[in-house]
Amino acid sequence: MGRYLVTGITFGVFMAEALIHYNMGRAKEDRKMGREPHFEFPPPKELAKIAVITGTFSILSGVLINSLEKYTPPKV
């Protein structure tokens, strides 16, 4: 159960970060075009790509954390 929790939390945090970075890039373009920057979600295909990449790295992070916990002796 612990590794799924780590992976889920990591996915949530990484996905939020990815959406912030997406909107930072959009805001830069909006300013160049003379528009007011605002937060928006990417188009569905782009959002799916971001979610797949974020999910992959979240799973990798969960696996690495689980491996470290398994092979690193606890310090008392």
For residue 27, the SS3 value is helix
Task: Enumerate the H helices of 33-74 as residue ranges.
Answer: 44-71
Asked if residue 56 is part of any domain, the answer here is yes
What are the 10-residue block averages of pLDDT along the chain, 76 residues in total?
Answer: 80 95 89 87 96 94 85 77
Asked if residue 62 is part of any domain, the answer here is: yes
Per the structure, the complete domain to which residue 64 belongs is given by 2-71
The total of structural domains in the chain comes to 1
Q: Is residue 25 part of a domain?
A: yes
Could you tell me if residue 24 is inside a domain?
A: yes
Residue 27 lies in a domain: yes
pTM score, two decimals? Answer: 0.78
Q: Nearest-CA neighbor of 49 among 71, 22, 76, 69?
A: 22
* Inside any domain, residue 76: no
